[in-house]
Structure 1
């Protein structure tokens, strides 16, 4: 008997949903890892609960991945099987990915210390100086061109936007006159459009990227953060920049700096820094991050350990 493959189910699922390319890529990646574990002869029709539990042990115990990672994989696979069962792509039965979510550990949000941020800027400013001096290493390097990636860092650091929001910015979303960046709903996790201000520290590099993009022929609806526009290779100018170059940049930067650096760490850091200020405003932080509820915003705020220490010292002062 011929069974539908996972990829047949995915095709049907993608056609029936309105998903972002990044979301489709995520589903494909999870399915591929499951097939690699079970073997190429596995079909949705013959997946058992024991297959799922064996994969569970492999992910959490053998690979040592986090519970959140496992739950993310489960959410993807459960949605795919629910679709297959609902539309009778497989025999109607209970979803094998039901009731296998695990309670994740709640860890402290990861932020960047001042020393780490200084290291980032020292590394990138050195790369910029080398490029300006004509020192060119012909070998591929994910940090090149350094001025472009420095603009990326500044944008993430001074706005707290997500990497997907950054990749969705078009030139027409930049309002230099009023100092505003419009973040599109298709790039936001909650599918909401919102705006963030262009601060004085961000403006110089952002203006440079904007005007240089225009000189390179970029139109109003073209992607702003597109490294292909400044790549000397042929046949790449028409392509948008996607997540892989961004991930490669942060992997290399983390290696150069000796610490983990990611777009989301800038997001957590700006929130924590804002909440340390005497004139802090939780509403301002919520507006900056584009959250629909204050409860979500509070999850981003790291406890101020210095303030806690001072209060403890005062409590026990006799």
Structure 2
């Protein structure tokens, strides 16, 4: 049995044994490093105790003000690594120290965008696009919002499909079929590892068509990533092996600053799900299909109760109650005559 395995050896062994995606390895590494930093440079994996795990939990929840959901995510990652270490005899624990440490997460509203916010974001980007078209944009080429036409295409794709950022960055040129009006989302980019398709609606088609034409003129091949800004700027590849994109982060950070409210790829996704469920002709199964969820529970988490709809429902309910009560009173009065 290994009694003095190092942190690096443990995470290396775990990644060697588990066929994880690059993005998943990145997530595990981020959580792992944060815990190692908390434990200190002289510690090793076999120094962890249940009490230290709870102390870390208290530190993150009380001092760092992290949410219960974020904490539970960290626990899930660390528990998986330690389970592997224990099973392989790399760690000496009888029980995983991360067991029984999850908390009940607060039920918060999903972060969505109002229609006014979406329109305002588009207005800002269209102003930059106008500068670009008149040549004024050359002075601001270092700005994260340029090339504006490219970022507007990304906004369109996120807004009109509700896909995740990771799915967007995995889209290849030959995944887009404009003739059939669909985009294939390959398994590598999907959270549930299931390939599915989303439609190309009329609002998305113009900018998406333009992007594909420009990409092909730049020599993009069928299996090349379509939403790679480096193709149009001549800079280093914008998408790493882990499908991380500093340029995408920089774009949404700058756009949020310009708009003076937070805007992100996932807020478009939340918004689409919520808006779909406000429409009476839609249903949960349709929203589930569009979002690509494996189970209904995931879809329900994306859906907010519409206050206006709730108000109308309560209004109608109490109108019926009061009408029924009035009828009963009237009936009683007539019987007593």
TM-score of the two chains, using structure 2 as the length reference: 0.89
Q: Give the corresponding residue for 2:281.
A: 279
Write the distance in 1 (CA, Å) between the matches of 2:10 and 2:285: 43
8 Å contact kept, 2:3–2:46: no
Match of 2:260 among 253, 258, 261: 258
The structure-2 alpha-carbon separation of the partners of 1:139 and 1:180, relative to structure 1 and needing over 3 Å to count, comes to closer
Write the distance in 2 (CA, Å) between the matches of 1:295 and 1:56: 27
Shift of 1:6: 1.6
Write the distance in 2 (CA, Å) between the matches of 1:295 and 1:53: 29
- Choose 56-65 or 269-278, whichever is displaced more: 269-278
CA RMSD of aligned residues (A): 1.9
Q: How many residues are treated as equivalent by the alignment? A: 317
Greater fraction helix:
2
Shift of 1:138: 4.8
8 Å contact kept, 2:238–2:247: no
8 Å contact kept, 1:156–1:266: yes
* CA deviation vs aligned residue, 1:91-110 (integer Å, no higher than 9, x gap): 24321111110110111122
8 Å contact kept, 2:238–2:245: no
Shift of 1:239: 6.1
The question of 1:307 aligning with 2:309 is answered: yes
* CA deviation vs aligned residue, 1:95-141 (integer Å, no higher than 9, x gap): 11111101101111221111111111111111111222222345743
Q: Give the corresponding residue for 2:213.
A: 211
* CA deviation vs aligned residue, 1:205-259 (integer Å, no higher than 9, x gap): 11111111111111100001111111233x5489676333222222221121111
Write the distance in 1 (CA, Å) between the matches of 2:244 and 2:199: 24
Q: Give the corresponding residue for 2:115.
A: 114
User: Structure 2 stretches of 5 or more lacking a match?
Assistant: 323-337
Match of 2:147 among 145, 148, 151: 145
Write the distance in 1 (CA, Å) between the matches of 2:39 and 2:12: 21
TM-score of the two chains, using structure 1 as the length reference: 0.94
Q: Give the corresponding residue for 2:71.
A: 70
Q: Give the corresponding residue for 2:40.
A: 39
* CA deviation vs aligned residue, 1:171-197 (integer Å, no higher than 9, x gap): 110001111100111111111111110
8 Å contact kept, 1:228–1:239: no
